[in-house]
Structure 1
Amino acid sequence: MKNMNNISFKNNLFPVFVSCLTFTIMVITLLLIANSTISLTVQHIQPLNIKKTYDMDKTQRRQLPHKTHALTVLRNRGYKVYNATDELKNNALAMGIQETKAKKTAPKKDREIKILIWTTFFKTRFYIKTKPALKTSNCSIKHCSFHYDKSRAGIASSDAVLFHQWGSDFKISDPIPQIRFSWQNYIFFSIENPTRNYFTKYAKLLDGFYNLTATYKQSSDVPLPYGKYVPRILRSKLTSSKNYYMENRRNKTDKGASVLWVVSNCETVNNRMQFVKNLQKYIAIDIFGRCGKPCERGTKCGTHPYMFYMALENADCKDYITEKLWKNSFQENLIPVVQGSKVEYGKHLPPNSFIHADNFKSTKYLAQYITKVSQSETLYNSYFKWKELYQFTSAAGLQNPDNVCKLCTVLNERRQNISFNKVYKISSWYDWRTQCASR
């Protein structure tokens, strides 16, 4: 009887044992699947978390508390890091990164290109009407937009994050995105030259942060010139018949100055203020702005009574020719007086469209020549002959539809081939000591 009870007890335990074993196997199977999923997520989907991947000492933390992955971190995360190729010149490339599995995390190639604007533009939000801009420029990319959604979802849905590089807009102490994907483009956007204090102080802290540049420099991934000129498709009869001398003389009084200068930065590395003061000894120059007579921002400051404009940049840098010439001179039909690299002006401007100060032995001889041109209808009009053959556009940065198209096109190209990316060493690529001259 006792043996029978034992057998009965064992028989009752067997189903329980089988059930427990089955449950255990199911749990183990689920854990294996879960672990596989987690592994896949960590390897291919999880963004680069700044706090986990970049550990800094206290000194670094004070300077740059939220810096994203450095090159050493990229190596540790399994990225291949290699040297620059021949196409990437001018110290533009610090390193390249490549991730073979990146396509699993990147947006679909046919989805709209989204650009997250992370900073302000000179302390204000700048709105870019992308679709009208792309339509105006006859751009091949039609689905491209900008937005300000800084949530995790907004960051994750963005092909690129754009940072305007200006001290008041992008401070080193300001928070930056807490997640970053390997396929995302961090855009270094600037229309200012590297002599400004912000760049000279903080450029090294930005090394390894950006993988796409959009600046006035021609070597940028997306060049953003302040202006450009192109041949006219048809010769302009209206322009050829226009008498610029008579038009500008009509608005000018005999006793008034013929030269205008609007300036807001009085202390510059090229010492342009002293140059103008020396020139004023021999010719009258009306100065408006912070360094002269009051002039409300956005107004023309009486450009019509004048015949010449002092289109002097705040620094003499490679490719740096700004609205001072394109807008204040060319657009207002005034002859620009410039100084700086004659090679640069010859490369970027129409022939015989400006007076270069360095062509004269002294400011006295320059003043004498300006006076001579102002008194000769034929000589004065000769500086506008180029308008019969060429036309120009004047719009800086991303306010220019063509520049918006350029940016969207580059992002589309990178989306199609995301296995390679640049990482910029900004302290070399945007170094004022190699990009600009001093006087």
Structure 2
Amino acid sequence: MSLNGLPAKNQLWAPFGCLAVCNIAVLSLLYYYMRPVYLVTPSRVVLTQHSFTKKLDGASGEGRELTIEKVILLWNMPIRSSYPKILDPTRCENCIITRNRSALAYSDAVVFNFRGIRNPEDLPARSEHKPNQVFVWMCRESPKTTLHSYKYDLKNLTNVFNWTMTYRLDSDVFYPYVEMLHRMHDEKRLYNTSTVNVPADFVDLVYSDVDSLMAKKKYLVAWVVGNCGGTAGAQFRMMIVNKLMRAGLRIDRFGSCFKGRPFPPYRSEEAHQRLAEYKFYLAFENTRGCREYVTYKFWKNAIFSGAVPIVWGSSKEDIARLAPKHSFIHLEDFQTSADLVEYLKYLDLNDTAYREFFAWRESELSSEHTAAGDDWIFSTGEALGFCKLCRMLHADRNRSGVGETLRRKSIKSLRHWWYGSEKDTCLSST
């Protein structure tokens, strides 16, 4: 109020200011979901508006270099979730990825994030489907997390989805966390005007030069963590770390769990450069015993950054199926914390023995290496995640070199598929 008892000018205008801010927020959200999608080829950028008319059927467009034949709709992808903004058409085939739900009638695949999908009623009505449209259930969390943290028993989701898209090898669409490195590689190759430093046959892991990688090493062990004990697995790994420190291991701990020890975002170049200075990284998951659950902690924070991962969470057998040979250290190989600490101290003093963990970088990350074939985890011929999904959608055209079989099926029991093959150590609430 003003001194004379009347509302002050700023109070009179306050409601209009609030209304303006609210309108701007709504318009921003509308723009986000209705914005154009940019499709990138190695030589140019093609802009396609979300009109979903004849252009999606390959109609003429001035200077068009892509025939857009398949549409992937992300129905309920969380805003902060990452996904490829572009797909390399030379290995993934041609697909457009959109969040715009008005594309439902034209979409070849509809991808549903597990969050928010508890019953068939949470999905669009079948009458709205395009013929032969594929419903895909996508999940990047472990079964332990979906069961106990999100309380998803999945019992009502029978004969609802056609394909699964997860990090597990038995998924229809294999979507492991190492896919982020493939995506980074594609973006570098497609966005950069010069591709002279981007390898063609394998994912660019930066450090194929082991001598330069060894020269960066200044410290012993790093650990970045944000889940301090919100799950049983997080509590257990914290206990393991405390035991290692009591056994004499120096661990540089970073993240919100440790006061005054912030760390750059894990996708940032600064984080990558910081971790490259460490010989080892604690790739400890927040769940234990879940099949093939190997996250960015292993692939991005350790392997990509040039640190040797020390692994806990997934079994050694699971890691060995996915990772390069002799590229990691697993806690299963040591009876006590003291045994592991003694081994790490030995490696710290013995460069020859430590360097053996990088032998795969020199032998397999080279243009001469062909033995691994297209199914090697770092081969650019290996299609993962949305790249594989795009290939599968094109497989019905019987194009040579696609190498995928399009399967129309219905998953009778998603609950049985997701939870039925897991061990008790994965599904236990403790």
User: What's the TM-score once normalised by structure 1's chain length?
Assistant: 0.61
Structure 2 unmatched ranges of 5 or more = 1-55, 59-66, 183-198, 366-375, 399-404
Partner of 1:276: 241
Distance in 1 separating the partners of 2:283 and 2:412: 32
Whether contact under 8 Å (1:134, 1:401) holds in the other structure is no
Deviations 1:107-155 (A, max 9, x none): 999971112211123x33756434xx223xx22623x21223324xx32
Matches within 5 A, 1:278-357: 278-282=243-247, 283-292=249-258, 293-298=261-266, 299=268, 300=271, 302-315=274-287, 316-339=289-312, 340-357=314-331
Distance in 2 separating the partners of 1:437 and 1:362: 20
Partner of 1:129: 85
Residues 176 and 241 from structure 1, CA distance in 2 versus in 1: closer, same or farther, beyond 3 angstroms? closer
Partner of 1:118: 75
Distance in 2 separating the partners of 1:382 and 1:366: 17
Partner of 2:390: 408
Matches within 5 A, 1:29-428: 112-121=69-78, 123-124=79-80, 128-130=84-86, 133-135=87-89, 138-139=90-91, 141-142=93-94, 144-151=95-102, 154-166=103-115, 170=117, 175-178=122-125, 179-181=127-129, 183-196=132-145, 197=148, 200-227=151-178, 239=208, 242=211, 244-249=213-218, 252=219, 258-267=220-229, 268-270=231-233, 271-282=236-247, 283-292=249-258, 293-298=261-266, 299=268, 300=271, 302-315=274-287, 316-339=289-312, 340-391=314-365, 402-413=384-395, 420-428=408-416
In the TM superposition, residue 297 of structure 1 has moved relative to its aligned partner by: 3.1
Whether contact under 8 Å (1:211, 1:423) holds in the other structure is yes
Partner of 1:102: none
Q: Note the aligned Cα RMSD (angstroms).
A: 3.7
Residues 297 and 431 from structure 1, CA distance in 2 versus in 1: closer, same or farther, beyond 3 angstroms? same
Deviations 1:247-301 (A, max 9, x none): 203xx4xxxxx21111122334442121111111121212222322333434528
In the TM superposition, residue 377 of structure 1 has moved relative to its aligned partner by: 1.3
| Higher RCO (CA 8 Å, separation ≥ 6 residues) | 1
Whether contact under 8 Å (1:114, 1:146) holds in the other structure is yes
Residues 126 and 313 from structure 1, CA distance in 2 versus in 1: closer, same or farther, beyond 3 angstroms? closer
Which range moved further: 316-325 or 109-118?
109-118
- Percent of aligned pairs with the same amino acid: 27
Give the partner amino acid of 1:385: A
Give the partner amino acid of 1:119: N
Which range moved further: 411-420 or 174-183?
411-420
Deviations 1:207-227 (A, max 9, x none): 332111111111111101222
Residues 140 and 161 from structure 1, CA distance in 2 versus in 1: closer, same or farther, beyond 3 angstroms? closer
Residues 223 and 336 from structure 1, CA distance in 2 versus in 1: closer, same or farther, beyond 3 angstroms? same
